[in-house]
Amino acid sequence: MSETSPRKKHIVLTSHPTGNQKPVPIRWGAADARERGPVVATPAGSGLRNTVGSYSGSYSVYRALAVAAGSLDPLHKPDLTNTAPAVDLGPFPQWSDPAKIVSLDPWGHLVGSVFAGEIAAGLDVRPTIAVTRARLTVPELKHREGPRLEPDGEVLMASGEVNVTKVALEPTWYLPGIAARFGTNEHDLRRSLFEHTGGMFSELVTRPDLHVFLPPIGGITAYLFGDIKAITDPARQLSCRVHDECNGSDVFGSDICTCRPYLIHGIEDAIQTAQQGGAGLIVYNRKEGRALGEVTKFLVYNARKRQQGGDTAAHYFERTECVAGVQDMRFQELMPDVLHWLGVTRIDRFISMSNMKYDAITGQGITIGERVPIPDDLIPDDARVEMDAKKAAGYYTPGHVPSEEELSHTHGRDLDKY
């Protein structure tokens, strides 16, 4: 760093408020963005910061690395020219209900325009949501056997490609609201977050005046199909799949689970509903392996396939619990926030069998019409173990729920059969 750099030479601790730290006021749930105030998460040292954590979720660690490696100017501020949302979304009444949206900043995509004056004056405030357009190539749509969707030239092109609007959302947690959603108190939540991230964010326990936390976790991508206005129009149909990341199946086509086939089924239903004048929505949450991570997930695969009697549906959840201590850490409680953000009040076709997702969404006051299970012929052979175990555990199925006895007969592939 040059001698003339305005970057501070000394490390500024923000763990305790001092005379020159005057966080920009933030009023969660206020009726408009200016009244709410900007989420300011500039690097430590700015007394204006009103958050714990840093922009970009888990990628903030790479930004720190880039600065350490000398490839990023630590004082760089984004040039937001031409980055505004590609389509208008909101505002919706849910944005100003502090109990409805607690895990994202409903104004996060409008930062560049709403706070243009502050940004021009030097305040480093960044978007936490971005809205763009994309054209998808989904091989299954072109190569599947049996009847295919008919191109319409707007949603589905003759080439087989699909036009969508896509939205990336970074987590922005309002800690009092998060605590309420989980039935705990803010103090205990802050302490747990502090202790179980190795003390990564001391402000969680020393700065009770800061209530917004940008956690270093993965975000959400929402894919919107068809006329966006149909999402909030009760007279038109909405198809929706809420999908949790499964890199092994989603990207690489691993056959041990139903993730990609069900995701594609959701995309097909989204296209079809959009073609009929409604809208389709796919919400993709970065919560790999039930938010346990891929290492845990692969350990569980081995434990399942090596156990006495081989991989059976009867012991599917038990093996996960042995390794991880819990069956699932996705905690769907926060998931409906993105639906509230999109103005969703009802889902006509819910492309999911998860009782946890269903309960979380309806528990937030969003009604669900039809629940659409994965068609049987889309379930890969080795994924029968997962599917039967989930049905027995309470997943929605209009068909047969396997008994204990039947679960012990559903077997997966042995480790030496690959």
Contact residues: Zn ion, CB under 5 A: 246, 249, 257, 259
As a residue count, the chain comes to 418
Q: Which of 330, 337, 371, 388 is catalytic?
A: 330
Q: Cβ of residue 320: shortest distance to Zn ion, in angstroms? A: 13
Residue 250 annotated to the active site:
no
Q: Cβ of residue 257: shortest distance to Zn ion, in angstroms? A: 3
- The smaller minimum CB distance to Zn ion, of residues 41 and 257, is found at 257
Whole-angstrom distance, CA of residue 127 vs CA of residue 109: 5
Q: Cβ of residue 250: shortest distance to Zn ion, in angstroms? A: 7
Residue 328 annotated to the active site:
yes
- Say if residue 91 is preceded by a cis peptide, omega within 30 of 0: yes
- The smaller minimum CB distance to Zn ion, of residues 259 and 342, is found at 259
Q: How would you class 186 by CB atoms within 10 Å of its CB: exposed for 0-12, middle for 13-18, buried for 19 or more?
A: middle
- The smaller minimum CB distance to Zn ion, of residues 315 and 390, is found at 390
- The smaller minimum CB distance to Zn ion, of residues 103 and 249, is found at 249
Would you state the structure tokens that stand for residue 379, as one six-digit string?
A: 């379930």
Q: Cβ of residue 352: shortest distance to Zn ion, in angstroms? A: 13
Q: Which of 250, 269, 311, 328 is catalytic?
A: 328
Q: Cβ of residue 321: shortest distance to Zn ion, in angstroms? A: 18
- The smaller minimum CB distance to Zn ion, of residues 79 and 377, is found at 377
Catalytic residues: 328, 330
